[in-house]
Amino acid sequence: MKSKMFLKIVFGLVLLVTPASLFAQDSDKVVILSPRVGARIDAAERERFHLFEQIKDFGGAAVFQTPQKSYYAKVVLIGADGKARDTTVQYQESYLLTLAEQIDHFEDLEKGIYRMGQQPETLKVVGPQAEVVTKPPGQQFDLLPFALKTDETPFGIFPQLGVGVGISTSAVDLGGIAPAFDAVEENYRKQGYTINHHSLNLDPPMQLRYSLTLRLSRSFTLLVDAGKSLQTEVDLKTVSASALYYFRVFEQRWFRPYAGVGIVFSHFSLEKKYGDRISPVRSFGDYDYLESISAEGGNTGFMLAAGTDLVPSPSGAISVYLNYIASSTAEATVSGIQHASVKFGGLVAGARLSIYF
């Protein structure tokens, strides 16, 4: 008697934890996200409209609505061995509505003339799934790990704001500042002070960089970037604002190389630490000290950009880039009294990790 009761309890628990998609599947209805893709989304449509980009080895998919008004997709996965297997992924209705709007307005989104949410979308639900697709062999109903993150904004939805952090190195020519620094020292000597001569290492230092990115479309981006040198001998700080137009060489789910052109405004400040005494002993028995010599300036130039975006998730990207900045000579002011000409341009190479919202 006890054993029968135990079996009933176990069977009841199994019913509770078994996915609903295993039951009453003949009554589940097909959802058509857009007439542009129809009832079954194939690999070509997925690539064209950037759908289900989180799914690896995508072979095809169809979306369904259960009698309880929940949603799931049957997805065919094609392995490296060419064998197909199936799985189901649970989705929120809000995410499917976003995909529907993305498909219907895809071209205008790419051009940056359409903003998501401008037009309400509805999901078209048709007859039972048996009328549209047949059950392939070996059907499985696993909940893939990424299914819990389906409310994330896809990487291809615009406009999109991102924040990033990275490192960079450059071939910026700061040599024009050195004579002005020497002139500042000489100015003290002409006043009768004694000051040691300091050689100035103006090799561009590696910088830690912070960025704010506004992606207006798949091809047009606004970027504000700030950097600070990682070495202490010369403290170089830079701020730049740029508008860039990108040309995608080709595009896959996670690997997106590009080339681009744009305009950039740059400003820099540079400080050399001295900490030297600059005068004879004063009547009070101490010295004056020259703590530092500084310079700042800026200019506007054109940028040629190349690199690739690695997209491991819908809300994150790793960018590796090589930019060339062609700019006119920038006028810098050194310690507020001397002027110097600086060619603040050249090659800039770096990497950046960005999170998009």
Q: Which of 149, 179, 211 is the last residue of a domain?
A: 149
* Same domain? 25 vs 100: yes
**What mean pLDDT is predicted for residues 26-33?**
84
Q: For residue 8, is it within any domain? A: no
Greater confidence (284 vs 12) lies with: 284
* Same domain? 222 vs 248: yes
At 178, is the pLDDT very low, low, confident or very high (cuts 50, 70, 90)?
A: confident
Is the pLDDT at 154 greater than 90, yes or no? Answer: no
Q: Which of 95, 120, 149 is the last residue of a domain?
A: 149
Domain count, the chain: 2
For residue 316, give the CATH number of its domain. Answer: 2.40.160.20
Q: For residue 267, is it within any domain? A: yes
Q: What is the pLDDT of residue 284?
A: 58
CA distances from 280 to 188, 269, 273, 274, 277 (A): 12, 31, 21, 17, 8
At 224, is the pLDDT very low, low, confident or very high (cuts 50, 70, 90)?
A: very high
Q: What distance in Å separates the CA atoms of residue 166 and residue 209, rounded to the nearest whole number?
A: 5
* Same domain? 137 vs 252: no
Which domain covers residue 340, as residue numbers?
160-356
The answer to whether the predicted template modeling score (pTM) of the entire model surpasses 0.75 is no
At 341, is the pLDDT very low, low, confident or very high (cuts 50, 70, 90)?
A: confident
Q: For residue 4, is it within any domain? A: no
Q: For residue 342, is it within any domain? A: yes
Q: Which of 80, 114, 149 is the last residue of a domain?
A: 149
Q: In terms of C-beta density within 10 A (0-12 exposed, 13-18 middle, 19 or more buried), how is residue 305 classed?
A: buried
Is the pLDDT at 156 greater than 60, yes or no? Answer: no
Q: For residue 105, is it within any domain? A: yes
Q: What distance in Å separates the CA atoms of residue 169 and residue 171, rounded to the nearest whole number?
A: 7
* Same domain? 279 vs 333: yes
Q: For residue 27, is it within any domain? A: yes
* Same domain? 252 vs 293: yes
| 34 Cβ contact partners less than 8 Å away, ≥ 6 residues apart | 100, 103, 104
Label the pairing between strands 289-313 and 160-170.
unpaired
**pLDDT single digits (tens) 266-324:** 888 888 776 666 665 455 556 666 677 788 888 888 999 999 988 887 688 899 999 99
